[in-house]
Amino acid sequence: MLASWVSRWCYRRFQRACASPLEAQAKRLRIILRRAAATDFGRAHDFAALARVPGPAALVRAFQDRVPIRSYREMQPELEAVERGEWQRLCPSRPIFFSMTAGSTGAYKRIPITREFRREVGMGSLIVQGALEDCFPELRRLRLQFLVGSAEGGVTEGGVPQGFSSGFNYKHLPRMVRHRFVLPYWVFTLHDVDDRSYAAGRLLVAERQLGALCAISPVNLINVRQSLETHAERLCTDIAMGTLTLRGTSAVPGMYRGTPDPALAAALRQARARGGRFPTELLFPALRVLVCWQGGNMGYYLHELAEQFGGQDRFEFPVSASEGLFAIPCQGNRAGGALAVTTHFLEFLPASGGTHALRADELSVGALYRLVITTSGGLYRYDMEDLVRVTGMSACTPIVEFVSKADRQTSVSNERLTEGDVTVAMEAASRASDVWVDRFLFVPCSDRRYRVLVDGAAVGRLLPPERDARLGGLADALERALRTASKGYDFEREDALLEPLHLVVTAPGALAASEARPQALPNAQVKPRHLTPVFDAHATLALEGSHAARGA
């Protein structure tokens, strides 16, 4: 198959580049500088002269000396000018799309997508596909599906289409790649979230050669699987008749008419009557791999993912965002990936402090860094405000794992607790106590402790006689696990600067409602938040009870 051959070639070339990351990064930086030399920003910082600096290390030093690191807030006036149509400010060509991504305030940021940037990400995506098929060669003869968001977000003030970049990329897949995917794009533009999950699941069941199911978040995969159980009779009827029954509308018109399969519908009904749910192997007989983020705050949901789908292998979704693709997963059942040294130019600020950014070849295994990127989309030394940890090496190129957003780190004393710490701790505590919750949030409090909020709807299945004991056990296990996961927390607890945490149950639905944000258009990204920097955030919620952890 041509697409598999091309992706394998791209991946082999990437592996060779990993042996010389500085040279690969300098080559990519020169290309970006030459393309952007005629922009206002490029002329102001003399990109044309920078691109001619001889030697990889000298080029990077000159670029770092000439161009400051800036955050979105610092770049916002220029990015908004680009959005209005003044694309020459930053971009090497007129943007063809603006990617809408949620900022820390809840308002959308709009990131320009140029043709040059799209080629960078497209090449990175082919490398990822090659890596996936290198780990699981049987996928070369099977079909794939990636769950995406809607690109139908209207137009910017300058008249350029906007929406979610995953949907935009899906709409414009090359022909040789597009036929590998099952779902028509219009399914992702259904306005009702339940409709979207059901429609995706219904059509994927009809494809008996689905080998890999992919989403940014494991929660998206869980939602699809759960929707088939929630609408079990609707599913069986649709399969028997070859139909897709929907309750709402989509932004992009579409319809489905499949081949009636009464035999499969009967088999599903019988299996569910015997076991109480559909067997995954009957729904998706060829499914081999689930692709999603496994690190950071997503790790907690891998337990439920396994419960929903069974024992399929997992493959990491690339470390990426609307702003670019930053790491290529290279092993099955492992979070993180090798830095994408051939896709964008990447730099790293030590999370422990300091203003000097390090190159990809200068990182240390085990260290935590803040990611800074330069792309062909008009972002130059752009602070992603993402924390990544180096977990190993692929040849001479670091393997990194996403930890959390930099603003998802907080202290009551000086513990510097991260979202990654609390996610690891909650997963360990849930395993130890056998109490799993759908949603939780660590809240720093003015009485020198953390309160861990869990939604009453998530613990309602625990019977009243055992509920207090089970939740108390979870609180104790969580205190122990947090002291193991976070050295800073353990130090502050040892010095009695922090009190033991409290597990607090909110009224059913209260925590979920407090975390909900209105969506302007259908989104395929579910990114739960597990740590807030807002002190005493629990005070605004209706609470049902509290369980104090015993000091560990």
SS (H, E, C) 157-189: CCCCEEECHHHHHHHCCCHHHHCCECCCHHHHH
% the chain with pLDDT above 70:
96
What letter represents residue 176's amino acid? M
Of the CA atoms within 13 Å of residue 250, those in its CB half-sphere come to 21
Whether the CB-CB separation of 358 and 339 falls below 8 Å is answered with no
Strands 97-102 and 108-113: antiparallel
CA angle 516-522-528, nearest 5°? 35
- 235-268 pLDDT, tens digit each: 999 999 999 999 999 999 999 999 999 999 999 9
Q: What is the DSSP code (8-state) at residue 255?
A: -
Residue for token digits 């602070």?
A: 383
Alpha-carbon span 501 to 452, nearest angstrom:
7
Percent of the chain residues topping a pLDDT of 90: 78
pLDDT of residue 105: 45
pLDDT mean across residues, the chain: 92
CB atoms within 10 A of CB 366: 9
Q: What is the pLDDT of residues 139-171, one digit of tens each?
A: 999 999 999 999 999 999 999 999 999 999 999
Helix/strand/coil for 321: strand
Above 50 in pLDDT, residue 104?
no
